[in-house]
């Protein structure tokens, strides 16, 4: 496969190729067998001991929001940080956060959300600058390359995914320990919140996980669930195996299949119910708040002559779909913020950085976008107050 043109955005092309490979796996691959269950079962499914730690993102979650507001009694305004998907492009967010700390005006965020690579960053961003060096190591030292193996083609065609899950699992287990959960629990009890997103493949719904509530649970299996959700949220469909999560319905155990939240939403901003129904009351305390969005992708159109082949056309079409999805999410979030009086602040990779799909966690690329994030903050040019994207990039 030839090297991609400079400026090709990492996550969009990666998702495209992985989507095509996933279709091939459905035709030729080996699958594990689960006990069947119904839509009615799925609607009632609960995780034993963690009955209130998740909610479908498209549900009416007014009660969920009200509960969160009551936890923050006395807090008039919020600082909200949302970190998008983007694979190796997550180094951009890490560069932003590191430089923001150095500049001396990085807020303590009341709410932090993450999707995919953003879900891996979010717990450390939630805990503040003391974890900047950990994130810098994970995203610029080259250790991310350990997440993949080179013998992926045969596995992708005959197995569950292109890459093995064990390297990702090992990385999460190394850096997410009981001490980290205790720190998150402490902040959660102060009224701060941490959320990540998975996609329930069985129901085709995005699931919002309350990671602070999980961290604060006294149960001995809280750490296991926290890690499992993080791994699921970062398991790009087709690249890594879907993650099995045990649940119970009417005393009967079922196994749900969860993967990366990215196919459902590239970034967690405003709940769908609030976006779609303007008659819903504005949550108390949000006017005058600030929403910061870190987009680990290039969202501008990027010209590249498409080869007339199944793989090229399919990957190109899927990349357009994901890019469009992200942009529309940002437009919707902006309109909501404008309507209710929330400050909108968006930063994204708006320059061309060479990337090779054959080397998805290339350290040269990751260090380059890390530098882009740093320089944007230090130059004072990081934030856009509306979703305006760069002009067409022609290569």
Q: What is the pTM of this model?
A: 0.87
How far is it, in rounded angstroms, from Cα 4 to Cα 121?
27
Active site residues: 116, 250
Which residues neighbour 258 within 8 Å (Cβ) at sequence distance 6 or greater? 198, 199, 200, 201, 207, 229, 232, 235, 242, 243, 244, 245
Token pair in block for residue 164: 């093995």
- pLDDT tens column, 285-307: 788 999 999 999 888 776 777 88
Dihedral through CA 239, CA 240, CA 241, CA 246, nearest 10? -140
Q: How high is the pLDDT of residue 270?
A: 84
β-bridge partners, 293: 82, 346
How far is it, in rounded angstroms, from Cα 384 to Cα 347?
6
Domain residue ranges of the chain, discontinuous segments joined by +:
10-389
Q: How high is the pLDDT of residue 311?
A: 62
Level-2 CATH architecture, domain 10-389: 3-Layer(aba) Sandwich (3.40)
φ, ψ of residue 46 to 5 degrees: the values are: -135, 155
Q: How high is the pLDDT of residue 219?
A: 97
Q: How high is the pLDDT of residue 241?
A: 86
Q: How high is the pLDDT of residue 278?
A: 66
- Low-confidence residues of the chain, pLDDT below 70? 1-33, 73-76, 149-163, 277-281, 302, 311, 315, 357-358, 390-395
How far is it, in rounded angstroms, from Cα 137 to Cα 121?
12
């Amino acid at each position: 496969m030839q090297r991609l043109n400079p400026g090709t955005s990492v996550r969009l092309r990666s998702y495209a190729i992985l989507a095509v490979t996933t279709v091939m796996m459905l035709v030729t691959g080996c699958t594990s067998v689960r006990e069947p269950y119904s839509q009615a079962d799925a609607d009632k499914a609960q995780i034993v001991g963690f009955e209130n730690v998740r909610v479908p993102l498209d549900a009416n979650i007014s009660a969920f929001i009200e509960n969160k507001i009551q936890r923050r009694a006395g807090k008039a305004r919020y600082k909200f940080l949302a970190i998008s998907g983007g694979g190796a492009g997550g180094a951009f967010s890490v560069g932003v956060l590191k430089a923001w700390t150095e500049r001396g005006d990085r807020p303590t965020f009341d709410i932090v959300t993450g999707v995919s690579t953003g879900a891996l960053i979010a717990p450390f961003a939630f805990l503040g600058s003391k974890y900047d060096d950990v994130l810098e190591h994970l995203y610029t030292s080259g250790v991310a390359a350990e997440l993949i193996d080179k013998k992926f083609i045969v596995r992708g065609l005959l197995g569950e995914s292109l890459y093995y899950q064990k390297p990702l699992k090992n990385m999460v287990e190394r850096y997410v320990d009981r001490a980290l959960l205790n720190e998150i629990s402490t902040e959660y009890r102060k009224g701060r919140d941490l959320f990540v997103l998975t996609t329930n493949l069985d129901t085709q719904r995005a699931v919002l996980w309350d990671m602070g509530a999980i961290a604060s649970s006294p149960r001995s299996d809280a750490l296991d669930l926290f890690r499992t959700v993080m791994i699921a949220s970062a398991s790009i469909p087709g690249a890594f195996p879907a993650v099995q999560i045990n649940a119970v319905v009417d005393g009967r155990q079922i196994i749900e299949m969860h993967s990366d939240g990215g196919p459902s939403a590239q970034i967690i901003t405003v709940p769908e119910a609030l976006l779609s129904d303007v008659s819903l009351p504005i949550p108390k305390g949000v006017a005058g708040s600030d929403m910061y969005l870190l987009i680990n992708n290039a969202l501008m159109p990027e010209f590249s002559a498409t080869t007339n082949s199944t793989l090229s056309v399919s990957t190109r079409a899927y990349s357009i779909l994901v890019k469009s999805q992200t942009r529309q999410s940002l437009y919707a979030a902006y309109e909501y913020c404008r309507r209710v009086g929330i400050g909108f602040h968006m930063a994204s990779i708006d320059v061309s950085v060479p990337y090779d799909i054959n080397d998805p966690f290339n350290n040269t690329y990751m260090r380059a976008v890390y530098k882009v994030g740093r320089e944007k903050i230090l130059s004072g040019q990081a934030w856009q107050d509306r979703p305006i994207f760069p002009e067409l990039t022609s290569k």
